[in-house]
Amino acid sequence: MTTDAASAQQWQEWHQQRLDAVRAPYGPLSVTGTYWIAEATADGALEGVPGRWHQTADAVVLRADIMDGLMLDGEPLVGEAELAPGPQTTVRVQHGERRLELLRREGQWAVRVHDPSAPARRVFTGIRTTPYDPHWSLVGHFRPYQARREVRVENADGRERTLELGGEVVFTAPDAREHTLAVSVVGSGALWAVFADGTSGESSYRFRFLRTGAPGPDGSVRVDFNRATLPPSAFADGFLCPFPPPGNTLDTPVPVGERDVAR
């Protein structure tokens, strides 16, 4: 098997794993809403969400009675419970088949509802995706910033939030021109970019995500646009995905990767 054929096979396996994750019972298609606790009524009621929700500086207090039908850690919740996930974790409360996920952004708490019976799951038929093209699997170079930078960008829910950037990746596209993307450093040094391009809003969704592995000691990194993915906000409302930061709209079409949701 040639190198390109092996890469295409690996991409096909990755694509299938993506489809399986997206259409999973509690995948992105299951999200039916995100509800900010600061917008609850005076007694803590959130429209369409059982229980009474109140936020403190470090936690959320949830009050429920037997009629609310809530489960916490597999046990009926009657009375009061303090929910305080760590910075990289979530707390899920069960309401029948629905999962109520607690999340926090810039000091504000919200409840995100996952429902396996969500309409988006019922009408989903796949992800429109361009077949693998080896010309768009590129070698790039990562240039870290001396200090991480914070920029304010609009999010998919219409609010502005901070996006932390750790450097930029420089690469030469098939158009033979050099391009640059600002990236965040995540996990064990992997890179993540939010970008748009000449196809955005036309033959592809308005923006996409691109993830890479950790750069090598010399800063080299594989930039494979075949694995550009749709953000969760493409699958369902209720996500807070950031839009591309300044400079991350490429002035060239990127005709590969995930394009849009098929319904």
**Residue 45: is its pLDDT beyond 60?**
yes
Name the pLDDT band for 89 (thresholds 50, 70, 90). low
Beta strand 98-105 with 91-95: parallel, antiparallel or unpaired? antiparallel
Is the full-model pTM beyond 0.75? yes
199 token code pair: 């196809």
For the chain, what is the mean pLDDT? 95
Give the C-alpha separation, 132 to 115, whole Å. 33
**55, 61, 66, 71 alpha-carbon torsion, rounded to 10°:** 100
Name the pLDDT band for 113 (thresholds 50, 70, 90). very high
The pLDDT tens digits of the residues spanning 185-211 come to 998 899 999 999 999 999 999 999 999
